[in-house]
């Protein structure tokens, strides 16, 4: 369980990502990671972390959360798979491999030490 303070920081981060991701590539990546997880494909550590970020034990979407669009992408990937991810997030033409490389290169913020503006 994520502490409430860290959850609020993550929500702010994902809301900002939603606002800045005009091509929906981040959501497409979340969708595809979850479709791969549901299909039983082997995931690396970064992919497992991304898949785990948006899974609610009860299966609910938190509509009040800044990450709701990512939660939905996760559900789509887990329940209907890669083809639907490709269809819904078609504006993003970046390959899965390139998105994964980009995600791997991102610095991981220390949520306790940093405030998200």
CA 88 to CA 42: how far, in whole Å? Answer: 24
> What does the pLDDT read at residue 45?
86
CA 10 to CA 53: how far, in whole Å? Answer: 10
Task: Give 76's contacts (C-beta < 8 A, 6+ positions apart).
Answer: 31, 34, 84, 85, 88
CA 14 to CA 5: how far, in whole Å? Answer: 15
> What does the pLDDT read at residue 102?
83
Q: Which one is predicted more confidently, 108 or 112?
A: 108
Give me the phi and psi of 51, to 5 degrees please.
-60, -40
Read off the pTM. Answer: 0.80
Q: Which one is predicted more confidently, 22 or 109?
A: 22
Nearest 5°: CA angle at 107, between 70 and 114? 85
């Amino acid at each position: 369980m994520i502490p409430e303070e860290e959850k609020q920081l993550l929500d702010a981060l994902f809301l900002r990502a939603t606002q800045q991701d005009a091509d929906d590539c981040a959501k497409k990546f979340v969708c595809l990671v979850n479709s791969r997880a549901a299909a039983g494909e082997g995931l690396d550590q970064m992919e497992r972390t991304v898949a785990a970020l948006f899974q609610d034990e009860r299966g609910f979407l938190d509509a009040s959360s800044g990450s709701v669009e990512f939660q939905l992408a996760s559900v789509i990937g887990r329940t209907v798979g890669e083809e639907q991810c490709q269809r819904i997030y078609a504006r993003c033409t970046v390959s899965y491999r390139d998105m994964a490389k980009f995600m791997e290169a991102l610095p991981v913020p220390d949520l306790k030490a940093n405030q998200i503006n």
